[in-house]
Structure 1
Amino acid sequence: MLWAENLLLLLTDRRTGRLVVPWNRVDLALAGSVLGQLWRTGRIDVDHPERPRLPGRIHVLDASPTGDEVLDRVLAILATTERRPIPALHRIKAGVRRSLYERLEAEGVLVHRTGRALGFIPLDLWPVRDARSHEPFTRRLVNWWTSPTYREASDDAECASATALLGAIGAVGPVVRRVGPAQQARGVQRTAALAREASWVATAVHQIHTSQQAGAA
């Protein structure tokens, strides 16, 4: 699974098929997950990854096909011009969530249903049908959250990315309550804050999320 697919499943309630946080936050996190995977697999880089708040511009290092249509679409967008992280996230987030949902449905992981909110607002719902392919990641993630020894000894970039992005959009609480351990939510919040501060991708996502919240206030 793509990192973004695993993240989307974390952000979707298994029973109801609804997102556990507002869709605009989810879209930002998914875009960040795609960027993070491209970065950690050597397809892109930034001028100063060691400076999460001022990373500079994104550069494509390898634009050859990855074999995945979502990653390839984002690579093609980034290859057209050098972009800073925040504009890049705004540009690539469109359509990612729908593409991932449809792919997970085709693979038998989710079922697509429709519903209505307040009796008249149409809703797309994506309850889980068979999440066995997602469960190994969930177990790794919970272990990454709860075991400092595992976290420090492993180079689990996907768990670090997911945790940082959940923290960046304020989704740690809703996700921890669903996958556990709920009693350690505060500790996971602290871990997520540290992971976010170390990641230029999650820092950019958090900056957008913060500005959106300020605009809505």
Structure 2
Amino acid sequence: MGATLVSAVTAGRRRPAAAYSGDMLWAENLLLVLTDRRTGRLVVPWNMADLALAGSVLGQLWRSGRIDVDAPDRPRRPGRIRVLDDRPTGDDVLDRVLAALDGADRRPVAAIHRIKTGIRPALYQRLEDRGVVSHRVGRVLVFLPIDEWPARTPDATEPFEERLGHWWTSAPYREATDDMECASATALLSAIGAITPVARRMGLAGRVRMIQRLAAQVRESSWVATTVNRIRTAQQATTA
């Protein structure tokens, strides 16, 4: 899984523009949640977003039964990733990661670091090709260029946000749906410390503490999210 693993998937190949559909990757939906639909900018630092997106790809493969880890009863210190089903998934990004996991260093931390390289621009490009976001170059401090990816229409980003917000605030809904994508997104947002900015952007500022408690519980049950949180903690310690 090289430095251009995910970006190589879309290089030279543009998908035909299309309206939003429910078959988007979990990582694509998570990226939309992390992006302000009006400004097109991330609501968290880009390096934190990249960790969450890489974790989302692993999480989708895990929850769909394609991969697992040794010692699953030790989510804080998971063993090696095992590929259980290497048949094509039908998605280029998932298939590339799945194939690479079968022969690379399969430690979860190492896998997250490899997957995160290039994943954000590649996913933004996919979303633009599908007509979900548009690309423009903005400015920070007047002269520093920055890529911005505002939503083309509100209804392109609302379906998953509405589902996630409902999952956060309704225990009966959580129990009835067993929505693994919402659980994965919640755990990863908690792992990178993004619950507060995302909840506020979604109009749930008054429910932040409740959502944070829920998210912490969900994070503890996911070896993917705990791995992302370990990386985040290590990076913060290094910076400090």
Q: 2:146 aligns with which of 110, 123, 126?
A: 123
**TM-score, structure 2 normalization:** 0.87
Counterpart residue number, 1:93: 116
Counterpart residue number, 2:194: 171
Deviation of the 1:81 alpha carbon: 2.8
Counterpart residue number, 1:114: 137
Cα distance in 2 between the residues matched to 1:142 and 1:50: 29
Cα distance in 1 between the residues matched to 2:205 and 2:129: 32
Q: 1:135 aligns with which of 153, 158, 175?
A: 158
Provide the identity percentage.
68
Counterpart residue number, 2:214: 191
Counterpart residue number, 2:102: 79
Deviates more, 1:36-45 or 1:73-82: 73-82
Q: Please tell me the root mean square deviation across aligned C-alpha atoms, in Å.
A: 1.2
- Which AA in structure 2 matches 1:203? T
Deviation of the 1:149 alpha carbon: 1.7
Cα distance in 1 between the residues matched to 2:90 and 2:154: 23
2:54 counterpart of 1:35: no
Mind listing any 5+ residue stretches in structure 2 that lack a counterpart?
A: 1-23
Q: Secondary structure at the match of 2:155?
A: coil
Q: 2:35 aligns with which of 2, 6, 12?
A: 12
Deviates more, 1:98-107 or 1:81-90: 81-90
Cα distance in 2 between the residues matched to 1:108 and 1:187: 35
Counterpart residue number, 2:232: 209
- Which AA in structure 2 matches 1:199? S
Q: 1:44 to 1:131 in 2, by over 3 A?
A: farther
Q: Does the 8 Å CA contact 2:151/2:157 hold for their aligned counterparts? A: no
**TM-score, structure 1 normalization:** 0.96
Deviation of the 1:15 alpha carbon: 0.8
Partner deviation per Cα, 1:95-118 (whole Å, 9 max, x = no partner): 111111001001111010002212
Q: Secondary structure at the match of 1:132?
A: helix
- Which AA in structure 2 matches 1:86? V
Counterpart residue number, 1:145: 168
Q: Does the 8 Å CA contact 1:108/1:130 hold for their aligned counterparts? A: no
Q: Does the 8 Å CA contact 2:138/2:148 hold for their aligned counterparts? A: yes
Q: Secondary structure at the match of 1:128?
A: coil
Q: 2:77 aligns with which of 49, 54, 69?
A: 54
Deviation of the 1:82 alpha carbon: 4.9
Counterpart residue number, 1:180: 203
Q: Secondary structure at the match of 2:161?
A: helix
Mind listing any 5+ residue stretches in structure 1 that lack a counterpart?
A: none
Deviates more, 1:185-194 or 1:71-80: 71-80
Partner deviation per Cα, 1:166-185 (whole Å, 9 max, x = no partner): 00000001100111322101
Q: Does the 8 Å CA contact 2:105/2:111 hold for their aligned counterparts? A: no
Deviation of the 1:131 alpha carbon: 4.3
Cα distance in 2 between the residues matched to 1:147 and 1:118: 41
Q: How many residues align?
A: 217
Cα distance in 2 between the residues matched to 1:50 and 1:3: 25
Cα distance in 2 between the residues matched to 1:148 and 1:50: 25
Counterpart residue number, 1:162: 185
